Amino acid sequence: MNTEAITSIKGIGEKTARLFQKLGVQTVEDLLHYYPRAYDAFLPPQPVSELAPETVAAVEGVLTKTADVLPYGRMKVTTAALRDISGLLTLTWYNMPYLKSALRSGERFVFRGRVVKKKGRMAMEQPLMYTPEEYGGLVNSMQPVYGQTKGLGNKTIAKAVSEALKGRRTEREYLPEDIRRRCGLAEYNFALEHIHFPGDGAELLFARKRLVFDEFFMFLVAVRLLKDRREDVQSPCPIAVSGEVRAAQEKLPFSLTGAQKRVLGEVYADLSGGRVMNRLIQGDVGSGKTIIAVLALLAAAYNGYQGALMVPTEVLARQHFESMEDLFGRLGLTARPILLTGSMTAKEKRLAYERIRCHEADIVIGTHALIQEKVVYDNLALVITDEQHRFGVSQREMLGNKGRRPHVLVMSATPIPRTLAIILYGDLDISVIDELPADRRPVKNCVVGTDYRENAYRFIEREVRAGRQAYVICPMVEASELLEAENVLDYSKTLREKLPSSIQVAYLHGKMKAQEKNRLMEQFAAGEIQVLVSTTVIEVGINVPNATVMMIENAERFGLAQLHQLRGRVGRGKEQSYCIMVDGSGQADTRERLAILNRSNDGFFIASEDLKLRGPGDIFGVRQSGELNFKLADIFTDAEILKCASREVKRLLDADPLLEEEENRELKNRLDVYLARRYEKLNL
């Protein structure tokens, strides 16, 4: 592994290195594993007559006259005209007057860029220019498109990756030959090079399959190690379900569904059964997982223990804390909850630490702050993490290490087919809440084209005037030079222009500082912001019952399971809610895929359909699910690779549990590095 600083790469100085750091890239190794988010396929030139608006294309022809440079406000606009055998095309560049000398009448070029329709005629804006020979060398190649940040464009990133690949030492293959043969996997060095610069689609898929396999394989080895540690571990904290908890359950202001009662029974049996509980509760958005967590925490409190609930955002932590305090007050319960988050002042944290240490708090609710070294629990017996994949195995294990073998309960609203859940959560028993409360109103859905936007804006305005709120989701933070998709920054400007000035529009994305994100989410939750334009950062971690509209731009770029997760942000209150999915592709098969969400609000059905529909080709369009924070792997698209990795981990560790055989030596070295980096605090 190359741990040299990124400044060791030719052409990268301190200033550029600081921009790379914003992308999480600090070393050469980080850069090599900063995979492209998409690929730009260079297709053969098209006749002018076959160009379609709003597409990226290439044309070859002869310039009919030398370019003109004309003033346009503060800009200078360069225009030229290209003719081929089928027609005439206008070419336009903004603030690039120096091109005039190269754009001379009678010269033959290939131009590649975005096609637009203006005044009934086809035009191409800001195209790149190639000689026919230059473009011929690029035809059918696939150029990488990376996630970018302001000041650091795609060309700079691609050049840095190319230099890093040229200067790197070839690594020894660490997967045994028989595993590679059985699973049809590329050699590691080949995969790393061709994930960045594939010669064609087949090479890309071959390289990607190997790196996806590695991600699954390493993760599943860690899961297996955890499972081996936990087998039949006796609990030092048996938790009997007291009369107070039974009474509280009976006095709840709503009735539990049959599925909730079944799962609660499984949790109670684990807590009192003598072994340490390690259970996952899977339940769709709104299925009522939280009340099961609350009752389990109450059971721990009334047995004299402490319990902890870790959630992914401060806003959600505060919402859980306030609703728990309200519920306990109404039911006359004496259990004492406390809130602990990173944004609290130093004094507030000190007071919270003291209350936790002295057991003046029975239930601790918070974010990652719960696993800080300064937090000392008094007899921690139950650890609950909400939205398990947002933390990962290591963080919930770190929280578990705060007590003496506490019971562990993890909850997820991400619907995963059971066959895959058993593999991914191999160290956990699985419970499923497969029933929604009777009073839950289904979200009304529609899949529309981009021509519906004006109607959608008017609908959002009507809902806001009626006192409600809306989300608008975009797949990107800011405009990209190569990827065509709606972005948060530009879209929020558009909405401010389209909607009345009395409607507060704000934007939110993952690159913001945590404090700013929390402030905006709290303002939205409080109703101070009416329309929130966001990336998928709001997929979990905020509960706003007053939000009734979810509009998702470029819905074709998301997997069905993730779209279902996103629309789960609405439909949480008494009012009817709506999800508007805007399909920017115009493709019939894409519209058919999205229509599945019209037919069902059942997350498990949708996840199963997603699994059936997605194939290798979807890596070019459908956004990765983000499940369990894999860089490349997607549990739906790559389900077969996941199953193969699971079989190979079992075969390998059953035969050689300590990886002592000579053929596994290189693999053990790689695993040691992986485990040290991801689980260094776990003593695995």
DSSP at 602: -
* CA nearest to 647, candidates 227, 223, 220: 220
- Other beta carbons less than 10 A from residue 194's beta carbon: 21
Which pLDDT tens digit goes with each residue over 497-512?
Answer: 999 999 999 999 878 8
Determine the Cα–Cα distance for residues 84 and 105; give it in Å rounded to an integer.
14
Q: Which pLDDT belongs to residue 397?
A: 66
CA distance 512 to 135: 39
- Per-residue confidence (pLDDT) for residue 614, from 0 to 100: 60
Fold of 1-37+153-169: DNA polymerase; domain 1 (1.10.150)
Residue 33 pLDDT: 93
Q: What residues does each domain of the chain span? A: 1-37+153-169, 43-139, 170-229+648-684, 243-433, 444-600+602-637
Q: What is the pLDDT of residue 413?
A: 80
User: 0.85 cut: is pTM over it?
Assistant: no
* 505-508 and 531-534 strand pairing: parallel
Distances (CA, A) of 460 to 349, 502, 580: 41, 13, 10
Q: What pLDDT score does 623 carry?
A: 43
- Are domains 43-139 and 243-433 of this chain identical in fold? no
CA–CA separation, 226 and 426 (whole Å): 9
* Helix/strand/coil (H/E/C) assignment for every residue in 3-22: CCEHHHCCCCCHHHHHHHHH
Domain 43-139 CATH (choose: 1.20.1250.20, 3.40.50.150, 2.40.50.140, 2.70.170.10)? 2.40.50.140
CB 174 within 8 A of CB 666: yes
- The DSSP element (H or E) to which 654 belongs, if any, is helix 639-655
Residues 181-226 have pLDDT tens digits of 999 999 999 999 999 999 888 999 999 999 999 999 998 888 887 7
The pLDDT of residue 400 is 67
- According to CATH, what is the number of the domain 444-600+602-637? 3.40.50.300
Give the Å distances, CA to CA, from 638 to 8, 77, 506, 615, 647: 35, 47, 36, 8, 15
List, run by run, the mean pLDDT of 10-residue segments along the chain (684 residues). 85 93 92 91 93 90 94 89 95 92 95 88 92 91 88 92 91 91 96 93 94 93 75 84 94 93 96 91 87 97 95 88 94 95 92 96 92 89 75 61 85 80 83 83 90 95 97 82 74 95 92 85 93 84 88 90 87 91 84 86 81 57 52 85 94 89 88 70 38
Q: Which CATH number fits domain 243-433: 3.40.50.970, 3.40.190.10, 3.30.1360.70, 3.40.50.300?
A: 3.40.50.300
Instruction: Kindly state the DSSP code that residue 442 receives in the 8-state scheme.
Output: P
Tell me the C-alpha to C-alpha distance, in Å, between residue 183 and each of 180, 192, 217, 618: 5, 18, 12, 21
What are the DSSP calls for 254-309, one per residue?
A: SPPPHHHHHHHHHHHHHHHSSBPPEEEEEE-TTS-HHHHHHHHHHHHHTTT-EEEE
